[in-house]
Structures are given as structure tokens and as C-alpha cells.
Amino acid sequence: MATFALERYCPEFTGVDEVSVKAVRVSGTEHYAEEAPELLKRYESISFAEAHHAVMHLIPKAPCRVLDIGAGTGRDAAGFAALGHRVVAVEPTEEMRRGAMALHPSSSIEWLDDSLPELASLRARGEQYDVVMLTAVWMHLDEKQRRQAMPNVAALVRDDGAMIMTLRHGPVPPGRRMFEVSAEETIGLAAPLGLSCVLNRPAESSLRQPGVSWTRLAFRKEL
Ligand SMILES: C[S@@+](CC[C@H](N)C(=O)[O-])C[C@H]1O[C@@H](n2cnc3c(N)ncnc32)[C@H](O)[C@@H]1O
């Protein structure tokens, strides 16, 4: 149970300033809060280099701006920061975000509580990024949300910038909200927005979950 301003959820309610209500979870984040202590260990058991060696040639060598959506434990945000990049890490699950900030304190990482498909806070800033990462997060959106999210994400990629994704396939862990997502659908959603697919291949995961496979996609935004 957490304490919230009720007016945030029920604007006509003005009786008290704060009451205890059950946390309203962002769609897609189901069961992450409960598992956060375990995931903060598991996601950190692989290195940033191991997780992303297949796409490092797409990352600028010079310091640039990186956006990591669904940043989880901050492993990748910290990896990019260590390479000299500035990172905005978007993570809606408070328990993950707080754990990540404690694990990877860095003045090069800005943490933001925002979520797909709207990314409302992020879009309100009017910024664009050289690299946009969506690692193991897109499958949390249903088809309607994916259609809504793609233009919002595409608008955040600067011209000639890269959008890099991994799609998870396989059994859904208990309590999670996940959908089967194909590379074809994703490439089809991205193409009309000027995002050309430059990499589409099976990806390995060191986390090795039975029956789970991954697809790695990368896109370049046309000038
Ligand atoms: C499988 S984890 C991946 C974390 C990290 N990207 C990594 O590769 O280790 C998925 C993350 O996406 C977040 N997430 C779930 N639904 C989301 C949404 N609608 N918008 C943004 N992030 C979401 C979860 O809270 C979780 O931290």
C-alpha cells in the first residue's frame, strides 16, 4: 500500500489531501515491482558489452545522447554513461527505478518516470536522441499500444540516429503481461516513419530461459 494524492486519479475528489490507495500500475509493468529485488540481481548478471555487442557498431564513438526506454536495473544506462554518453533512462516501475539509481549513481544518467505507449513527459520536453534503446520492453505492449507507441518513439530519434530493439518470444512468465510480437510487424510499423531496418537477426540471451528466444532489430532514421 502506498500513499498518493487521490486527486491525481479522481480529480473531483477534494475531501482529503492524501489517502492510501493501492498503487496504479502502468500497463506492461505487471509483476515487476514484486520481483524487483530478484531482477536487480538477475539483469545485472550479464554485462552491457555482452548484452549489446551485436549493435555496438551502430553507437557513435563521440559522446552523444542516448534514450533507454524500459531501462530496468540501469545496466545499459550505466554502460552508455561509461562510454561517455549522456543517458535519459525511462523506467515506470518505481521499485526498479529506485534500485537502479542506487546501483548506478551517475551524473550522466537522468532517470524519468514515464511509460509507453504515450511517453507523455518525455515528448513534452521536445528533445531528440542519437540512440534510442528498447531492450526487452516492446513485447509488453499489445497491438493497439504498439501502433500508438511507434510514432511517439520515432519522433524521439534524431535524423541519422538509431533505434535498437530486442523482441522476446516464448512463454509468458506468471503474472506478467506480454504479447507475441514479430519482426515483420515491427519493421512495418517503423518504415513509414522513416526508420529503415538495418539489422534483423536472432539474438542470444545469456539469461538462458527455457523456450525463450529473441530477435534483435536496429533501425536508422533517414535524413
Ligand atoms: C524485461 S525488463 C528489461 C529491462 C532492461 N531494458 C534490460 O534489458 O535489462 C522490462 C522493463 O520494462 C519496463 N516496462 C514495462 N512496461 C513498460 C511500459 N509500458 N513503458 C516503459 N517501460 C515499461 C519494466 O518495468 C521493466 O523494467
**pLDDT band per the 50, 70, 90 thresholds, residue 23:** low
Overall fold of domain 26-221: Rossmann fold (3.40.50)
For the chain, what is the mean pLDDT? 90
Pocket of ligand 1 (CB under 6 A): 26-29, 32, 43, 69-73, 75, 91-93, 96, 115-116, 135-137, 140
Q: Is the pLDDT of residue 19 over 90?
A: no
Are 1 and 22 within 8 A, CB to CB? yes
14 compared with 162, residue with greater pLDDT: 162
**pLDDT band per the 50, 70, 90 thresholds, residue 205:** confident
Backbone angles phi, psi at 200, to 5 degrees: -150, 100
Q: Is the pLDDT of residue 13 over 60?
A: no
Q: Which of 24, 26, 11 is nearest to 145 (CA)?
A: 26
pTM over 0.85: yes
Instruction: Using the mean position of ligand 1's atoms as its centre, give its distance from the Cα of residue 90 in Å.
Output: 9
**Atom 16 of ligand 1, nearest CA residue:** 28
Most confidently modeled range among 16-25, 41-50, 207-216: 41-50
Q: Is the pLDDT of residue 67 over 60?
A: yes
Instruction: Using the mean position of ligand 1's atoms as its centre, give its distance from the Cα of residue 157 in Å.
Output: 19
With the most atoms of ligand 1 within 8 angstroms of its CB, the residue from 25, 26, 27, 29 to mutate is 29
Q: Which of 114, 205, 188, 107 is nearest to 154 (CA)?
A: 188
Instruction: Look up residue 220 and give its DSSP letter.
Output: E
* For the CA of 134, the nearest atom of ligand 1: 6
**Dihedral (CA of 135, 204, 220, 191) sign:** negative
Are 138 and 181 within 8 A, CB to CB? yes
pLDDT, tens digit (0-9, with 9 covering 90-100), for 117-165: 999 999 999 999 999 999 999 999 999 999 999 999 999 999 999 999 9
The phi-psi region of residue 170 (left if phi > 0; otherwise alpha if psi is between -120 and 50; otherwise beta) is left
The phi-psi region of residue 153 (left if phi > 0; otherwise alpha if psi is between -120 and 50; otherwise beta) is alpha
Q: Which of 102, 97, 121 is nearest to 33 (CA)?
A: 97
Pairing mode of beta strands 19-21, 2-4? antiparallel
**pLDDT band per the 50, 70, 90 thresholds, residue 4:** very low
CA 159 – CA 195 distance, rounded (Å): 9
